[in-house]
Amino acid sequence: MNEWMTPQEIADAQLTGMPATKRRVNELIKREGWERFAASVRQRTDRGGTITEYHLRLLPLAARLDIIGRSLPEIEQEAPASPEELATLGATSVFRRDARAAIVKAADKLHDIAGMWFSTTDQDFCALYEARKAPVPDWVYGVVTTISPRSIARWRQAVQRGARDRLAGDPSKNRAGTGVLDTAEDGRVKKFCLALVAKNPHLAAKHVRATVAAEFGETLSIVNARTGEIKDVDLPPLRSFQHALKTWKHEHRHELTYLTDPDGYRSKVQFAATGATVAARLNELWEIDASPADVMTTDGRHSIYACVDIYSRRMKILVSKTPTSAAVGLLIRNSLLDWGVPERIKTDNGSDFTSYQTRRLFAELDIEQEICPPFSPHKKGVVERHIRTFQHDLARMMPGFVGHSVADRKV
């Protein structure tokens, strides 16, 4: 498509809203002052002398649409959908998909011919489509009544990714979150149900429905989002609660896992970064922790205390019959004698690490104690890994090894 036209070419094109003679076109150009737009006016030398040309952007919208529509070839009819596609998507969705694909193909043709940015050509194509001058089959206008540049860009992205069936759309997703249980009582019913599930994950839908009825009654008030009208509706049946709970549990699965299964959340969901615990020098940071040893002695199971210097990864192990503050103090003493005094020590919030004796020991040695939040072993992952290495390496070679879990001990 040629973007520059002379007055004679404009007249010969017989464009909508434009004069049909060169003289009238020149009068229009002078009257509207096209010469003011220097970037849209150019001159070239031909055998007949100097010829002035004008860019298409100076033409009225109707005239531009005429030129664009004539330049675009008619889009070929899509092949009919297969029986498998009709069975999977449904006839309406297949029509919607094919109509949107035809629109994308026509918009891409305009982009290729014009050689301009997609944002510009998509805007022009939308105007062309609204005027029903786009080179698409007539049935497309009946399926897709209005379009926007953003819609075309979204559909084009789906086609480029090979996800053509996504053009079929799913109207039910547009209504997601607008049901009675989602909006009833200004959203309080949904929050109440989620709170019940978070507190007791074993509750069935019938239990949740009975609790909602006891809390809010047999009728719920909802607000029409468009009109603002408030009306009362009957409490939805059990099947609606089952469907809503299934949807909410999937939608908020990470939050519910965090509340009901902290260990599972850490293992399956929580982001684990490398290098999260850093030390720039020796004795800048130590981590200490305790764990029951996977070894049974004639005197019962003992606890192992581990101390790790983060910078050098050197480790001290102490065996104690019971987890006590005295064992923590002895571990620190052994480490101090060999390594020196640390600047900080990171511990969990166990009673042996937060006791008065342990905190007083750290204060007397001018050591800063950093206590990790409850249920956060990843905050001191280095010492946790060292203890695991001990349990899975040295402990396995000992005569009294009893396994790492209850399942192991049953073997």
3-state secondary structure string across 329-394: HHHHHHHHHHHCCCCEEEECCCHHHHCHHHHHHHHHCCCEEEECCCCCHHHHHHHHHHHHHHHHCC
pLDDT in tens, 140-158: 888 888 889 998 898 888 8
Q: CA–CA distance from 242 to each of 193, 239, 363 (Å)? A: 11, 5, 56
Q: At residue 231, does pLDDT exceed 50?
A: yes
**The predicted structure's pLDDT at residue 399:** 86
Q: At residue 350, does pLDDT exceed 50?
A: yes
Both tokens assigned to 131: 């005027």
Confidence of residue 374 (pLDDT cuts 50, 70, 90): confident
pLDDT in tens, 94-135: 778 888 888 888 888 877 766 677 888 888 888 888 888 777
* Section 390-409 average pLDDT: 80
Query: Which residue did the predictor score with more confidence, 334 or 79?
Result: 334
Q: At residue 91, does pLDDT exceed 70?
A: no
Which residue spans of the chain are classified as CATH 1.10.10.10?
4-71
pLDDT in tens, 164-211: 777 776 555 555 556 788 888 888 889 999 999 999 999 999 999 999
Q: CA–CA distance from 198 to each of 58, 257, 271, 282, 301 (Å)? A: 63, 9, 22, 45, 36
Which residue spans of the chain are classified as CATH 3.30.420.10?
285-410
Percent of the chain with pLDDT over 90: 29
Q: How far apart are CA 24 and CA 232, in angstroms?
A: 68
Q: How far apart are CA 7 and CA 16, in angstroms?
A: 15
- For residues 248 and 201, the answer to whether their CB atoms sit within 8 Å is no
Among positive and negative, which fits the CA dihedral 169, 174, 180, 181? positive
Q: At residue 365, does pLDDT exceed 60?
A: yes
**The predicted structure's pLDDT at residue 284:** 94
Q: Are strands 300-309 and 315-320 parallel, antiparallel or unpaired?
A: antiparallel
Q: Which of 6-10, 73-77, 181-185, 217-221 has the lowest mean pLDDT?
A: 73-77
Both tokens assigned to 53: 């040309």
Q: How far apart are CA 170 and CA 249, in angstroms?
A: 21
**The predicted structure's pLDDT at residue 79:** 47
Greatest mean pLDDT range, 3-17, 31-45, 239-253: 239-253
Confidence of residue 72 (pLDDT cuts 50, 70, 90): low
Confidence of residue 86 (pLDDT cuts 50, 70, 90): very low
* Helical pair 118-130 and 149-160, crossing angle rounded to 10 deg: 120
> Class assignment of domain 285-410?
alpha beta
CATH architecture, domain 4-71? Orthogonal Bundle (1.10)
**The predicted structure's pLDDT at residue 211:** 93
Q: What is the dihedral of CA 296, 297, 301, 302, to 10 degrees?
A: -130
> Which amino acid makes up residue 128?
L
pLDDT in tens, 246-287: 999 999 999 999 888 888 888 888 777 666 678 889 999 999
Q: What is the mean pLDDT of the chain?
A: 83
Q: pTM of the entire structure?
A: 0.47
